[in-house]
């Protein structure tokens, strides 16, 4: 029976992914900053552990407590919306600490056991924002683009040891972590000069076309976890699939 460790399971994609893997019969280690039984009640084959991906001590304690794992899903992330001009560097660092350095630190903590066993899989959850440029999310996109490049290179680096690395690229989910976890990283980040642009974006987001559900992401993470091909990128959600197809077509021209 395989074991998966998933970060950022308090809500959204991580929570649904934990539920999905558990339903498929896997051992699941679901991590979040503050474990809550009302989110993931006690169950056989399910462990909920505290984890702050921005803390080396927390990462080391969680990895040690988890024991051998087969798959790491780096899902924990925070959103950031606003004009980059008005974004303090403290916010820039906060976003990168979680979305970028947190992913790298978790990966670095589990790779030794994967390499020693010559098996294992790292799945990094990024965003469809990496597939097509969008205004007012320059910071968020940058933090995710860094992981795209990191993952693509790491796949080659670890492949010689039989360790696989994959990317899952979710589309826009109105009820998921991007909107709910932006918090103070939105407030006051839209100067008057940018207001017309921001208003157009907000209007578009209020009436989106096909969007991504948490279940879409969970199913694609599951598919990536069981994929034995050389495929690196897995768009998740109808909007992300469409963006990926458009990007691929543009590159082919």
Q: What are the catalytic residues?
A: 140
Alpha-carbon Rg for the chain, nearest whole angstrom, is 18
Q: Is 79 exposed, middle or buried (0-12, 13-18, 19+ CB in 10 A)?
A: buried
Closest CA to 79 of 212, 148, 176, 211: 176
Question: How many whole angstroms from its chain centre is CA 88?
Answer: 23
83-102 burial, b if ≥16 CB within 10 A, otherwise e? Answer: bbeebeeebbebbbbbbbeb
d(CA 249, CA 161): 33
3-state secondary structure of 222: helix
d(CA 129, CA 111): 27
Element (H, E) at 20: helix 12-23
């Amino acid at each position: 029976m395989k074991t998966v460790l998933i970060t950022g399971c308090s809500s959204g994609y991580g929570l649904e992914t934990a539920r999905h893997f558990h339903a498929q019969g896997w051992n699941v280690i679901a991590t979040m900053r503050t474990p809550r039984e009302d989110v993931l009640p006690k169950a056989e084959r399910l462990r909920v552990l505290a984890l702050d991906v921005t803390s080396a001590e927390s990462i080391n304690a969680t990895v040690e407590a988890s024991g051998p794992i087969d798959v790491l899903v780096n899902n924990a992330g925070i959103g950031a919306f606003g004009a980059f001009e008005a974004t303090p560097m403290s916010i820039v660092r906060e976003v990168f600490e979680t979305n970028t350095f947190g992913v790298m630190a978790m990966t670095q903590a589990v790779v030794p056991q994967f390499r020693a066993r010559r098996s294992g899989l790292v799945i990094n959850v990024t965003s469809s924002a990496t597939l097509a440029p969008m205004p007012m999310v320059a910071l968020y996109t940058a933090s995710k683009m860094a992981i795209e490049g990191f993952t693509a290179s790491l796949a080659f680096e670890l492949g010689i040891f039989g360790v696989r690395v994959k990317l899952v690229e979710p589309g826009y989910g109105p009820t998921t972590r991007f909107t709910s976890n932006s918090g103070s990283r939105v407030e006051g980040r839209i100067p008057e000069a940018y207001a017309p642009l921001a208003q157009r974006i907000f209007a578009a987001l209020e009436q989106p076309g096909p969007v991504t559900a948490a279940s879409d992401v969970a199913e694609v993470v599951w598919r990536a976890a069981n994929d034995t091909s050389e495929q690196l990128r897995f768009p998740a959600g109808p909007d992300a699939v469409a963006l990926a197809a458009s990007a691929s077509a543009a590159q082919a021209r």
